């Protein structure tokens, strides 16, 4: 069965960077695009970006362009999301979510979420 297992919670200071991992299993890793979505406390969902694990092409939300980088490692079936120049507003639960296919934007499977807290 498809599983997306994310790395554990992080606490970072403003200005620092954070890198969250998402290890996929149960399917052919390079066949399906992966998205990152975040949710600030008590707020709605926010789409962050998408990666084609086969080749590594990416697209990012304009709001985060320049601060977010999504990469993939096909040898370990893992996708990474790195967010730099952290601000308190970046405090959120970060989710990876597998696409239905090649960029359908239907998010079929979700990781368990990773809480990132930005605090001085």
Stretch that binds other proteins, among 7-15, 23-31, 59-67, 75-83 (CB under 8 A): 59-67
Residues whose CB falls within 8 Å of the CB of residue 34, separated by 6 or more in sequence, listed in order: 22, 24, 50, 51, 53, 70, 72, 79, 96, 97, 98, 99
Does 82 bind other proteins (CB under 8 A)? Our answer is: no
| Phi and psi torsions of 42, nearest 5° | 70, 10
Does 108 bind other proteins (CB under 8 A)? Our answer is: yes
Closest separation in Å from C-beta 79 to other proteins: 16
Does 47 bind other proteins (CB under 8 A)? Our answer is: yes
Does 105 bind other proteins (CB under 8 A)? Our answer is: yes
């Amino acid at each position: 069965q498809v599983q997306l297992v994310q790395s554990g919670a992080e606490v970072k200071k403003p200005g620092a960077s954070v890198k969250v991992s998402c290890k996929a299993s149960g399917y052919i890793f390079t066949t399906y695009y992966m998205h990152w979505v975040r949710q600030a406390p008590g707020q709605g969902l926010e789409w962050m970006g998408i990666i084609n694990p086969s080749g590594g092409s990416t697209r990012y939300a304009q709001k985060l362009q320049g601060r977010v980088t999504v990469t993939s490692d096909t040898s370990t079936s893992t996708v990474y999301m790195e967010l730099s120049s952290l601000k308190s507003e970046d405090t959120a639960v970060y989710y990876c979510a597998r696409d239905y296919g090649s960029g359908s934007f239907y998010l079929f499977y979700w990781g368990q979420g990773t809480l990132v807290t930005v605090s001085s």
